[in-house]
Amino acid sequence: MSTPEQAVPRFRPGVKLRFDPVRKAWVVLAPERLFLPDEQAVEILKLVDGARNLGAIADDLAARFAAPREIIIADVGAILGDLAEKGAIAL
Amino acid sequence: MTGFEPPMGLIVELTHRCPLQCPYCSNPLALERVGDELSTAEWQRVIDEAAKIGILQFHFTGGEPTARRDLPDLVRHASQAGLYTNIITSGVQLDDRMMEALVAAGIDHIQLSFQDVDPENADRIAGYRGAHAKKLAAAARIHAAGLPLTLNFVVHRQNIANVPRMIALAEGLGAARTEIAQVQYYGWGFKNRASLLPSQGELDATTATVEAARLRLKGQMVIDYVIPDYYARRPKSCMGGWARRFINISPAGKAMPCHAAETLPGFVFPSVRETSLAEIWQHDPAFLRFRGTDWMPEPCQSCDRREIDWGGCRCQAFALTGDAARTDPACELAPDHAVMAAAIAERGDAPADFIYRRYGNNDAPAPLKDAVS
Ligand code: SF4
Ligand code: SF4
């Protein structure tokens, strides 16, 4: 699925990204649901603030991780697209 | 973190008091009395213990949780402990004051239950005149407060034809999530099974409606759909497996792996008044009894789904076979599967009158067989 770089993702109402000190892991808490995102998804979700668009999120990740920007943007789109389908993210 | 993996959610029945009388209520037949309920301070201690052992989501339910005046205080306490807070309510007491107090306390999500879309039928099922109108007002309040709204429709033969209108109502009210949940047949639902169980045809039509709506509303509204086990080929993974993800606590503080577990004979469930949640989760014999796969009989023991559905529901196995340690009869592979067809055959052409959920309505019960034949 391809999402335009200008799209600004945000957490839908009632959805929270939180660090759980017991599991020592990040969790996404949502109405009657919870997700345990993997490391890559966590890095992306930490940048979801309702202001940055997909392109800006990819720029930030590309500057910090050794991977080509095209691959990163595709991953960002796929991971956020998946969470959008599950009702956790609005795109 | 040592021992068994931490539980995800705590389901807290704050009280069994409720102005409604739904004939499928998930509360036990023997409703607990107000005098036995845990105090505010006791619940606050339970909340602290829950946060410490890794509970992530806290579900306040009942009865009607808003019947407890201290609900906002408990929500605040849970929210400050870092827990995700959810309320499951009938909404008839959710006035402006309660709503403001809950928002100020930091409530994350409210799930509002509906009996139908047709007001007259909804009020009849709830056993409470005017309930439906009050629920619509509550939905508007939740939405106006900017909170995510989930509508929960409990579906059965006396409202199943209205499922398309239920989905439309949820859309109209701006719900982010809707549950189309068929009655689960334990306790009160089991007592009223012949009046509630839909036909195969009704179920199939509903499944098709839900599938089409899910496609249409993708990314806008999530629809969770639960079918009755009586028409399933494999059981559901009840509570995500016995004592694997949830702890349920009764108003008087009894801790159980699920709300229906009280029906099981020979169990002594621990009280949070005497035992810590950590101790209960890791060591209580009732919690360990059906955790994992060691307890399983055949055909589960050698089945490749045994860690997917965990052998189905223990309470259903007991209700339908008299033995909680048998394979859930909902499974086609279960030796007792024929009891499902027998129950469907008992439905009859017209539903019998409801036995409403209320204090005192369980004192002289007709055995189920007499009530339905
Ligand atoms: S199912 Fe009905 S009677 Fe039972 S607690 Fe909920 S609203 Fe009250
Ligand atoms: S045999 Fe047991 S484990 Fe296998 S599908 Fe049926 S209930 Fe589940």
For B350-370, give one letter per residue: b (16+ CB within 10 A) or e.
eeeebbbbeeebbeeeeebee
pTM over the 0.95 mark = no
The DSSP H or E segment spanning B216 is helix B200-216
B309 CB less than 6 Å from ligand 2? Answer: yes
The predicted structure's pLDDT at residue A2: 62
Task: Give the phi and the psi of residue B243 in degrees, each rounded to 5.
Answer: 55, 40
Q: Which residue has the higher pLDDT, A9 or B263?
A: A9
Ligand 2 mutation target, pool B303, B307, B314, B328, most atoms within 8 A of CB: B303
Is A32 in contact with B177 (Cβ distance < 8 A)? yes
Give me ligand 1 centre to Cα B71, in Å. Answer: 17
Of A24, A27, A87, Cβ closest to residue B222? A87
Give me ligand 1 centre to Cα A13, in Å. Answer: 26
Give me ligand 2 centre to Cα B279, in Å. Answer: 30
Computed over every residue of chain B, the mean pLDDT equals: 92
> pLDDT grade, residue A32 (50/70/90)?
confident
Q: Which of B4, B109, B142 to probe the A interface (max A CBs under 10 A)?
A: B109
Cβ < 6 A, ligand 1 pocket: B 18, 20-22, 25, 27, 62-64, 90, 113, 357
Give A31's contacts in chain B (Cβ within 8 Å).
86, 108-109, 111, 148, 150, 176-177
d(CA A19, CA A17) in angstroms, rounded, equals: 7
Amino acid identity of B293? T
d(CA B76, CA B37) in angstroms, rounded, equals: 19
For B340-360, the pLDDT digits (tens) are 989 898 888 778 888 898 887
Domains of chain A: 11-86 (1.10.10.1150)
> pLDDT grade, residue B364 (50/70/90)?
very low
Q: Quick one: tokens of A72?
A: 């990163």
B312 CB less than 6 Å from ligand 2? Answer: yes
Task: Give the phi and the psi of residue B58 in degrees, each rounded to 5.
Answer: -120, 115
d(CA B56, CA B142) in angstroms, rounded, equals: 23
The predicted structure's pLDDT at residue B1: 52
Considering only CA atoms, which residue is closest to atom 6 of ligand 2? Answer: B331
Q: B256 forms bridges with which residues in the sheet? A: B248
β-strands B222-226, B177-182 pairing:
parallel
Is A22 in contact with B1 (Cβ distance < 8 A)? yes
B306 CB less than 6 Å from ligand 2? Answer: yes
For B121-163, the pLDDT digits (tens) are 999 999 999 999 999 999 999 999 999 999 999 999 999 999 9
Using CA coordinates, name the residue in chain B closest to A83: B219
Rounded to 10 degrees, what is the CA torsion of B327, B328, B333, B335? Answer: 60
Q: Is the pLDDT of residue B70 over 70?
A: yes
d(CA B153, CA B170) in angstroms, rounded, equals: 10
Using CA coordinates, name the residue in chain B closest to A15: B108
Amino acid identity of B222? V
For the residues B335-340, what does the mean pLDDT come to?
94
The predicted structure's pLDDT at residue B363: 52
Considering only CA atoms, which residue is closest to atom 4 of ligand 1? Answer: B25
Using CA coordinates, name the residue in chain A closest to B57: A29
Is A31 in contact with B111 (Cβ distance < 8 A)? yes
Give me ligand 1 centre to Cα A21, in Å. Answer: 35
Q: Quick one: tokens of A38?
A: 């993997």
Q: Quick one: tokens of B257?
A: 């792996």
